[in-house]
Structure 1
């Protein structure tokens, strides 16, 4: 390309971005708002404005122009002139806008994929002042590695696969995934680790762009699948990726703590919302347990590696050869426990408050102001009297100091700026981020606290600090439940109201239920209405019941349908029963069918009952069988046709 052409192309690309920027400024939108209006991914929109990136595609330019009400043809002409403009070093010269996410596996550092460091960085060499890559200890294969290897082999052969390793903190889950994908690196596979701006947003934004021969890396998968807003949609997108042959082969690897795996597998109570239905379906048959410790065979292999010169394993085996918790030792667990047990009283109080906060449901990022105020009653009178004016600074400095493996008991964090519009709420219900610095408790200490402090109730300063400093509605609601369970009724009352003020639909529903019990139907309805504005399906179902009693069947039907749209397919079954009671059997059957199509197998039982009442026993039997296959049938429903829930014949019987 001639130099003059290069300047012309760069000028065209700069002019294109200038016009897009002016249009965005006139509309007073954020890029996230623009992405929604243009029906584009946030990353695609961001890169369209970003210097050094290739020219956006014609489709992207056209969509942005329409959303910003700019001249489409003029911008497309600029785009054609700018199409060959060079990008920064390392970027693709063309087609980068259409490339799938990720980069070659060999270009990743395992520590960037959250493999726990097992030792300090090596010192700089004479030729560079940068530290060399940190060492990993020799890898010891265990039984779960064989299953992983089989999945990798099948992916390499052309079949998409997904495996999620479930195990406690620092049991070697992430390292196992890293070792498993190494055979794919030599054949050109890519690896994508979605994490920016948040893990869930990044995954949802780009899963549709994942190309064949890509490893989708979902370490700490609860941040994706358990996300309250996006988790079910991410699960659906992953399922679509796995079952669409023309998009494969792909390999999805994830990790989970056991409590999250159990939470996602658990079936909801009858009539209760089912917030993880798609996640449960996705994980079925794709979860693999990682044991807490090495068995005798694995320890023998580790000892052999240590004897052959692996100093990291040799050091860890001096402590872990008896209990077999080798990976935890390598990840720094003993040093973290040592720091806890030998901390100064103020530092220990901060750690205990942090462990209590996490085990009772406060989010990952803990405001320092909250922990500082919470820690006061964890100190004895003598310890409190010994505090100096600088105790806070000294205690945090002690706890943020790295220990073995570059970990620390508390890690200072920085809140990312908000990059998406806040949903409309009523005055006083916004949830601003916590003011001031925040910290994150080390994973191992968090789990240690869940085990060792499960029988303890936090002191008064903890509840007071939570009520004073915490702002996230989920944190406040979780602590409300914790206070109730520990008979701290007054704190539960105040925390519930604060959670409701911050927009917690759970707290609003609980307050509404209390109003109902007190006979204040009008007040309960007002609170359910507030919760319904946040898309809470339970609130919508309760409103529907209230409106049925008031004779507003049209309003009830609308509420049931909105509840179904927000993730509760059983609401359609309630709609069907409402139609039955009003004599609309044809409408009831249609609603039952719709509910079954949306994932409510119990609706099949309702359909079968209608068939039975209409004199169609064969059709009813077929539906009962189908319900049993999906887990929605009940033995008493199946007995008239001589069937067990699994579909096998059983003797007829009549209650005596």
Structure 2
């Protein structure tokens, strides 16, 4: 840093000196620089002038790129200059880190709050001392990179109540001293807020994506959010920014798993965003962390001391501090009616029902969880008493089952109107505590819910995803009659998967007309697989032109794999030309894999020349991977035929000596 000039800005002086040095090294004048940076001549002149205001971030980034200077470092200097000038802009969504209460960012409180001296001030919620662990060091490196002007993203992965959110809060405290902002998108829903305002995020902002499954896993907006976050990170003029997120391990596995060949890839952008950017948070404190916790306890941290009395053996300190053991205790010692309601909620969540559980569903589902003696002792107000018991807060201000109010969805109507969406469940809604949900996934994974659970699901649930998930769960547990009824209800409420399965059942039963009607309903709701099944039915009935038209519709909607499946049928029927024509249609739409798969069928049938011709067509359309396969085929043939190959790969006939001349008599 150069010496301070009287009345000047150190950062602005250094910024302009570095730009001037870069201009000299590039051997450009200001007019040439303006042209290459696609800026006005006056804009460039003012950016370099010591008497003009701080240039914009876009101007600095454009000049830095042309002059091959580090964009992040120059933008950091520009921001410091803006601060020194006292003209810091609003900077997009969010507010200064120091203005946030950590509990508003979903950091778990621990212990009872204390009343402030001012009766009009809210109760002060307790926050125990913090014990840094190994992942905190790696997280700190990302924070230091961001402070130095390089945008970063880190997603902490760990089970419920392992300290992920608290680690993020502690990590950003150095940025609070530098005046950074923090934005937590959550209103009206997390995903909607992110989609609405990610493009407005400004430099020096922490983007807080706690419980990142609500963003990346959103079935409507998840991929858009992942793409927007990626764009934010790679746009130097918008940085530096720091994106912090948290995930449970099962969600991280779901988003990063490679799809099986031929299946959809619903998390391609999320997988790209998370690659190499996750950080594991262990379940328990190791010996070093426990020793540090003991030091805090000895220094007067009563919450830490209290937790050590229970968690020193297994090291699960963060779970204890967040109230998890008390939640478990409340479940194990609940009244029979309250325990029955909790177990119905646990089974609903682990079998795929959404976060918000209706009171009507839980109440009806709970009855068969009671033995006959407890059932006979129920009073008329048993349900009211059970919900009141489960609403009582435990250590950490959590409740085993808390009342919740889902926000009404605010989505634009679909482009193609089908059926009206299912109405939201009526009556009060409840949410199971995260720790109890995760606990039940382990302890109850081998248990099958009783009949009252399935009956309540069929009576009260209306969301297609909930009904579809429970249909699969019922089938997997051999509750086939309930699976049948739940599938019909799912189809009634808009599930294309349920419609497709019902249509397949009709087709297997010989009801062609009923199957076709259901396949059409599923196709009208966007199912390309249903279009293909219709095509198969029409192909079998001899209507090849109609079948091909249906397959083209599916391909137009993005599912080119169906072209291969119809091509395979043509190949098996002996129509090689028809099969090739369909494969070429798929290749023309960008799916050369169809040509390759058909080539493999030909090769397996012993038709080497036909296979090679199809592989060549795939290579001509840009699939260079097949060149290796062609070379491999040549090598195999060369070993089998020692006399050599022509340039086109045709085996050369073995050399024969000329016959002896005929002697005329």
TM norm. shorter chain > 0.5: yes
Number of residue equivalences:
534
What SS class does the counterpart of residue 412 from structure 1 fall into?
strand
Residue among 578, 582, 588 paired with 1:590: 588
Q: Deviations over 1:321-372 (max 9, x none)?
A: 0001100000101111111111111001111111011101111111011111
Report the CA distance between 1:157 and its aligned residue. 2.0
Name the residue aligned to 1:599: none
Residue among 555, 560, 563 paired with 1:560: 555
Q: Residues 380 and 619 from structure 1, CA distance in 2 versus in 1: closer, same or farther, beyond 3 angstroms?
A: closer
Residue among 112, 115, 124 paired with 2:107: 115
Q: Residues 205 and 541 from structure 1, CA distance in 2 versus in 1: closer, same or farther, beyond 3 angstroms?
A: farther
Name the residue aligned to 2:81: none
Name the residue aligned to 1:296: 287
Report the CA distance between 1:166 and its aligned residue. 1.3
Q: Deviations over 1:214-257 (max 9, x none)?
A: 22211111111111122122222222222333332222211111
What SS class does the counterpart of residue 308 from structure 2 fall into?
helix
Name the residue aligned to 2:663: none
Q: Residues 522 and 240 from structure 1, CA distance in 2 versus in 1: closer, same or farther, beyond 3 angstroms?
A: farther
Report the CA distance between 1:377 and its aligned residue. 0.5
What SS class does the counterpart of residue 581 from structure 2 fall into?
coil
What SS class does the counterpart of residue 583 from structure 1 fall into?
helix
Q: Residues 139 and 624 from structure 1, CA distance in 2 versus in 1: closer, same or farther, beyond 3 angstroms?
A: farther
> Mean alpha-carbon deviation: is it higher for 572-581 or for 535-544?
572-581
Q: Residues 362 and 270 from structure 1, CA distance in 2 versus in 1: closer, same or farther, beyond 3 angstroms?
A: same
> Mean alpha-carbon deviation: is it higher for 372-381 or for 508-517?
508-517
Report the CA distance between 1:603 and its aligned residue. 7.0
CA distance in 1, matches of 2:298, 2:560: 59
Name the residue aligned to 2:128: 137
What SS class does the counterpart of residue 206 from structure 2 fall into?
strand
Name the residue aligned to 1:86: none
Report the CA distance between 1:198 and its aligned residue. 1.4
Q: Residues 245 and 535 from structure 1, CA distance in 2 versus in 1: closer, same or farther, beyond 3 angstroms?
A: farther
Residue among 143, 165, 168 paired with 2:159: 168
CA distance in 2, matches of 1:442, 1:144: 26
Instruction: Tell me if structure 1 keeps the 8 A contact 2:566–2:579.
Output: no
Q: Deviations over 1:97-121 (max 9, x none)?
A: xx62222212111111111111222
| 1:613 correspondence with 2:613 | yes
CA distance in 2, matches of 1:134, 1:588: 61
Report the CA distance between 1:411 and its aligned residue. 0.6
Residue among 59, 81, 93 paired with 1:101: 93
Q: Deviations over 1:505-546 (max 9, x none)?
A: 221222223233334444334323323343345445545655
Q: Residues 523 and 151 from structure 1, CA distance in 2 versus in 1: closer, same or farther, beyond 3 angstroms?
A: farther
The residue correspondences of 1:192-591 to structure 2 (distance < 5 A) are 192-420=183-411, 423=414, 430-543=421-534, 550=543, 551-552=545-546, 553-562=548-557, 564=558, 581-583=579-581, 587-591=585-589
Q: Residues 611 and 459 from structure 1, CA distance in 2 versus in 1: closer, same or farther, beyond 3 angstroms?
A: closer
Q: Residues 160 and 535 from structure 1, CA distance in 2 versus in 1: closer, same or farther, beyond 3 angstroms?
A: farther
CA distance in 1, matches of 2:483, 2:631: 45
CA distance in 2, matches of 1:651, 1:448: 59
Report the CA distance between 1:574 and its aligned residue. 6.9
What SS class does the counterpart of residue 245 from structure 2 fall into?
strand
Name the residue aligned to 2:75: none
CA distance in 2, matches of 1:539, 1:152: 50
Q: Deviations over 1:265-321 (max 9, x none)?
A: 222333222222222222221222111111111111111111111111111011010
What SS class does the counterpart of residue 510 from structure 1 fall into?
helix
Structure showing greater Rg: 2
Q: Deviations over 1:367-419 (max 9, x none)?
A: 01111111100111110111111111111110001110110001111233343
What SS class does the counterpart of residue 212 from structure 1 fall into?
coil
Structure 2 gaps, min length 5? 1-86, 571-576, 601-609, 641-665
CA distance in 1, matches of 2:595, 2:581: 19
> Mean alpha-carbon deviation: is it higher for 452-461 or for 156-165?
156-165
CA distance in 1, matches of 2:615, 2:429: 66
Q: TM-score, normalised by structure 1?
A: 0.74
> Mean alpha-carbon deviation: is it higher for 605-614 or for 507-516?
605-614
Q: Residues 381 and 146 from structure 1, CA distance in 2 versus in 1: closer, same or farther, beyond 3 angstroms?
A: same
CA distance in 1, matches of 2:430, 2:618: 63
Instruction: Tell me if structure 2 keeps the 8 A contact 1:121–1:131.
Output: no
Q: Residues 618 and 496 from structure 1, CA distance in 2 versus in 1: closer, same or farther, beyond 3 angstroms?
A: closer
CA distance in 1, matches of 2:210, 2:278: 13
Name the residue aligned to 1:87: none
Q: Residues 250 and 529 from structure 1, CA distance in 2 versus in 1: closer, same or farther, beyond 3 angstroms?
A: farther
Report the CA distance between 1:620 and its aligned residue. 7.8
Q: Deviations over 1:539-567 (max 9, x none)?
A: 455456556664233442232121x2xxx
Residue among 156, 162, 177 paired with 2:168: 177
Name the residue aligned to 2:73: none
Q: TM-score, normalised by structure 2?
A: 0.73
CA distance in 2, matches of 1:290, 1:413: 29
Name the residue aligned to 2:55: none
Instruction: Tell me if structure 2 keeps the 8 A contact 1:414–1:438.
Output: yes
Q: Residues 347 and 614 from structure 1, CA distance in 2 versus in 1: closer, same or farther, beyond 3 angstroms?
A: closer
Q: Deviations over 1:19-64 (max 9, x none)?
A: xxxxxxxxxxxxxxxxxxxxxxxxxxxxxxxxxxxxxxxxxxxxxx
Q: Deviations over 1:416-435 (max 9, x none)?
A: 334345547656x6411111
Report the CA distance between 1:145 and its aligned residue. 1.4
Structure 1 gaps, min length 5? 1-92, 597-601, 628-632, 643-649
Q: Residues 641 and 156 from structure 1, CA distance in 2 versus in 1: closer, same or farther, beyond 3 angstroms?
A: farther
> Mean alpha-carbon deviation: is it higher for 137-146 or for 343-352?
137-146
What SS class does the counterpart of residue 466 from structure 1 fall into?
helix
